[in-house]
Amino acid sequence: MTDAASDHLPHTDSPHTVSGPIGHNEPRARARRTVAGKGRYVDDIVLPRMLHVAFLRSPHAHAAILSIDAAEAREAPGIVAVVTGKDMATQCTPYAGSHQLFKRLKAPDQYPLAVDRVLWQGEPVVAVVATSRALAEDAAELVDVDYDILPAVTSFERGTPPAVQLHDDIPDNIALVEQLGTATVGEDFPGADQVFEAQFRFGRITGTTLEPRGIIADYEPREGALTVHCSHQCPHQQQDIFARHLGLPEHKVRVLCPDVGGAFGLKQQLYGDEFAVCALSIMLGRPVKFIADRLESMVSDNHARDHAATARIAVKSDGTIVGMEVDDIFGIGPYSQYPRSSVGEGNHVLRITGAPYRLDDYRARLTMVYQNKSMIGHYRSVGHPVACAITEGLVDLAADGLGLDPADIRRRNFVRSSDCPRVSPGGIDMPDMSLETCFDAVVAAMDLPALRAEQAEMRKKGVYRGIGIAAFVELTASGPEYYGPGGNRITSQEGCHLKLEPSGVVRCWISVTDQGQGTDTGIGQVVASHLGVAMADVRVFSGDSETTPYGGGAWASRGIAIGGEAALRAATALKANILELAAVVLQADAGTLDIVGGRVVDRDTGTERMPLSDVARIGYFRQDTLPPGVQPELSVVRHYVTPRGRKFMATNGVHAAHVEVDTQTGIVRCLGHWVAHDAGVVVNPSLVEEQIRGGVVQGIGSALFEELRYDDDGQMLSGSLADYLVPMASEMPEITVLHVEGTGVEEELGAKGVGEAGVAGSPAAIMNAVNDAIAGAGLGQRIHTLPLSPERILGALGKVPGEL
Amino acid sequence: MSDRSYSVSMTVNGEVVNANVSARTNLVDFLRQDLELTGSHVGCEHGVCGACTVRVDGRIMRGCLLLAVQADGQSVETIEGMAGDPLMTSLQDVFVEENALQCGFCTPAMLLTAHEFISRVVETGAYRPDRDAIRDTISGNYCRCTGYQSIVQAVERVLIQYETAPTKAPNGAPNPGSDR
């Protein structure tokens, strides 16, 4: 990389020794293909006699379905089938997004298409299958659904009895109340000199993958086998779901996730429309394709965030933080998402708020509320940005109230490496933290004193700039302790299958999937390094539930941290097998041999003994020359699951944002952004940097532009990309990424997850920077409502009326 | 909706194509579905995201906002047809080197946009190193993965390469690697 901002800053001496291509910016094989326009996304796949489906979706947020008249549609040109929710319900078993770690969570059953009642605008009601998508859409317009419109639940405030009940047995529409901490929310903080309180609001956003969701289901009736091509992150999870809920033997279901055009957690769940496509293929015995168009993506993709929180920070006069409290209300839409449940984001807010700081008096309450809006799912950095913005907004509030420098109050209160191992009050295991190192790296890279001096000078000229700092704790590489006891059939292990080919090169199948992160390449680097071969001699395959080892796919930043460890173990095992065979051929002790550069060498001298191609040739074609009983094993599979009792691999980082607020228009210009993060051993710096930068931009989007707005009737007001603003290049700053190599990892590879880091802290940093520009300059009130739209900023400045 | 067909004739990646297309078929659907040129992608179908960008008579256009019948008699180029173009090859190489793409869904369109920008700059000689100008130029193309910086970096690198080697013609080279 020519970018100057990729220094590695050691936190402590790393115990991990690496060699080979690990640590290098190896280019991606996939990238070479996709720049030529040869990416193979779901919509690029065409199967013989393939049909297309269009879904008629509910125009109402809440309504009873009185009748459906599809007679005219069934007679339309090219129509093969028109299927209602009731028809569809007979083809599958229902599903509910429960989670047994949260036994009080009330999770109603769901069906792929609405049955009797619709609960959000955009819910699929009728599937129309035709020989082309255009004809299917034409016929969908001819379906006549008679609705009895019901009042919609769109707010999610506690305390007022709801006018309407969304689900049987849930009279208050509350899905879950969860509490944790040293005292009840609202009680006093002993030992505090001052307590500061703020209301935080986080609008609804969505992942906006550039490639919309898509699926092709191909049921072969004679074999009884279902093959699914899907734009998804978790092929094995989907295989399990389709088999169980459609009544198919699991070994006859295959899920392929080829090139995926962005996923970000959005393509991690079961969607009713996608499930319906599988059922339709079984019903019709033909391949069926569904590609969401952008307008239906906006109402049918999972949304995220939608929190309203009241939070407090308790401090001593000298700036010591003694306590923090968060009372979060979380609107989750009409159902709990399946199969992971919708608890994740709220649970993370409960657990991560306050985590970077040495406070012990911590209390938190989460209230999850059902609403007539689209479903809330997992979007990149699940809950982290909410927890971070609350925490860091409170820290700035306290600094302001005490007259302290925002940098100084943070440095004083960070959890230090010397405090670790520590378990945070929210239950975060911290084997080691590198917050101080990350903080110092950011402050140095941005030259904070110089920026402060410039800020003061600019203010004299009526130019209002602000600096915002935000520290975050990041949960990566989830272990088996969350979904296992939760009763969710989601594996936490990853696997790697390596095969030495007869020519001496290596094929590698992995369970982790690649939606652009470059996981394939990172795994290839691990294999090449630990096996002792060149990168060019390893070919990596992923995204096929039938041929790859069983594993989780892509979620919770596990690709390299867990998948990489599985690859390391497979490479080590294959190397041992190769050397064992070579030792027989060479009549040597395997312990005296090594593999370097694709050749078996003497371990001590490095002298070549034989190339791997010779070992492979003998192993595959000349077993006759081997002594009796010698069985070559030139193919190995290894799996890895994280240590029992460790829920995740916690890491951390620090963001800083530099912005300018136009006080006439309320528009924020991003001038610069800095991130120091701790990913442990960085396998491929370039991949990590672009992951972080991409995350920062998604975070800035949610901080400044992105908001899915609804009216009181539950109609979405921002249902196109003309209304829902996604960041573009011209609005984004240059982003400096600093790698801090921290410790605290048990795995031999030493890598921590990195996917959440960019999003986790950027909204908080932007929010604090904007508040520094306006409240810090004495121009107006602090704003804790994201996104910080021009309207809200002008409201804070007192220039337009409106609630903040 | 009317599904009436019209006969069209256009040049696509250097080959003459005669086809009957429905009046409502947009250009990118025609290229992807009828001609099986799947390098151009469909991201929003309302002209915002830029993933469907193609070249029509040498200028980049939104493939979702043009009907196939509007391309009648014109020359259409897609990423597949740019194979072998020296500037495009440089851009593709540097995009890979800089990791200026992740999922790759925006990439063919981003490359076409960058290609037009650099061609124009080299022809007019108007460029002074300015990353903001690159950012403005690619702001019609969404990327949800990279954070844009690596794309800016890649475009800037190729631009400097062409600025310092003005004898290299960015356009007009034959397309020996064309897929059509």
Confidence (pLDDT) at A803: 64
Say yes or no for a CB contact (<8 Å) between B3 and A44: no
The residues with which B55 forms a beta bridge, in sequence order, are: B60, B77
Q: For residue range A775-792, list pLDDT tens digits in order.
A: 999 999 999 999 999 999
pLDDT band for position B123 (cuts 50, 70, 90): confident
Length of chain A: 804
| Burial of A799 from C-beta contacts in 10 A (0-12 / 13-18 / 19+) | middle
Rounded Cα gap, residues A515 and A39, in angstroms: 12
3-state DSSP assignment of residue A59: coil
B138 to chain A, minimum CA–CA distance in Å?
7
Contact of B171 with B86, CB cutoff 8 Å: no
Question: Is the preceding peptide bond at A421 cis, omega within 30 degrees of 0?
Answer: yes
Contact of A229 with A45, CB cutoff 8 Å: yes
3-state DSSP assignment of residue A92: coil
Tokens representing residue A207 in the block: 């992942």
* Helices marked H in A669-750: 685-704
Extract the runs of DSSP E, i.e. beta strands, from B68-180: 75-77
Judged against a pLDDT cut of 90, whether residue B167 lies above it is answered with no
Tokens representing residue A230 in the block: 């899907």
- SS3 sequence, A197-266? EEEEEEEEEECCCCCCCEEEEEEECCCCEEEEEECCCCHHHHHHHHHHHHCCCHHHEEEECCCCCCCCCH
* Residue A401: its H or E element: helix A384-402
- SS3 sequence, A632-669? CCCEEEEEECCCCCCCCEEEEEEEEEEEEECCCCCCEE
B106 has a chain A CB within 8 A of its CB: yes
Say yes or no for a CB contact (<8 Å) between A2 and B157: yes
B124 to chain A, minimum CA–CA distance in Å?
23
Rounded Cα gap, residues B142 and B107, in angstroms: 10
Strand order in the sheet with A735-741: A8-10, A735-741, A668-678, A649-661, A464-476
Residue A425: closest CA among A353, A366, A489: A353
Tokens representing residue A439 in the block: 């903080």
Rounded Cα gap, residues A167 and A335, in angstroms: 9
Say yes or no for a CB contact (<8 Å) between A732 and B149: yes
Confidence (pLDDT) at B124: 85
| Backbone φ, ψ for residue A575 (5° rounding) | -60, -45
B28 has a chain A CB within 8 A of its CB: no
ipTM above 0.90, yes or no: yes
Confidence (pLDDT) at A163: 77
A28, A207, A693 member nearest B147 (Cβ): A693
- SS3 sequence, A131-200? CCHHHHHHHHCCCEEEEEECCCCCCCCCCCCCCCCCECCECCCEEEEEEEECCCCCCCCCCCCEEEEEEE
> Residues of chain A whose pLDDT is less than 50?
1-6
B37, B51, B139 member nearest A729 (Cβ): B139
Say yes or no for a CB contact (<8 Å) between B105 and A39: yes
Contact of B8 with B18, CB cutoff 8 Å: yes
Please report the residues numbered 153 through 172 in chain B whose beta carbons come closer than 8 angstroms to any beta carbon of chain A.
153, 157
Rounded Cα gap, residues A4 and A501, in angstroms: 40
Tokens 């962005």 appear where?
Answer: A262
B91, B92, B153 member nearest A2 (Cβ): B153
Contact of B127 with B140, CB cutoff 8 Å: no
Confidence (pLDDT) at A16: 57
Contact of A282 with A271, CB cutoff 8 Å: no
Residue A572: closest CA among A29, A26, A20: A20
The type of residue at B175 is N
Rounded Cα gap, residues A210 and A42, in angstroms: 13
Confidence (pLDDT) at A287: 98
Say yes or no for a CB contact (<8 Å) between A211 and B41: yes
Confidence (pLDDT) at A156: 74
The residues with which A541 forms a beta bridge, in sequence order, are: A509
Say yes or no for a CB contact (<8 Å) between A35 and B111: yes
A291, A691, A693 member nearest B149 (Cβ): A693
Judged against a pLDDT cut of 60, whether residue B178 lies above it is answered with no
Residue A28: closest CA among A548, A524, A680, A560: A524
pLDDT band for position B179 (cuts 50, 70, 90): very low
Residues 6+ apart with CB under 8 A from A118: A58, A60, A61, A62, A63, A65, A125, A147
Tokens representing residue A794 in the block: 């002008």
Confidence (pLDDT) at A248: 98
Contact of A115 with A140, CB cutoff 8 Å: no
A212, A262, A758 member nearest B103 (Cβ): A262
A27, A693, A720 member nearest B97 (Cβ): A27
Tokens 């379906």 appear where?
Answer: A143
B88 to chain A, minimum CA–CA distance in Å?
9
Say yes or no for a CB contact (<8 Å) between B48 and A77: no
Confidence (pLDDT) at A11: 66
Vertex A581: Cα angle to A578 and A585 (nearest 5): 130
A301 to chain B, minimum CA–CA distance in Å?
14
Question: Is the preceding peptide bond at B129 cis, omega within 30 degrees of 0?
Answer: no
The gap between the terminal CA atoms of chain B, to the nearest Å, is 33
Tokens 């295959």 appear where?
Answer: A254
B114 has a chain A CB within 8 A of its CB: no
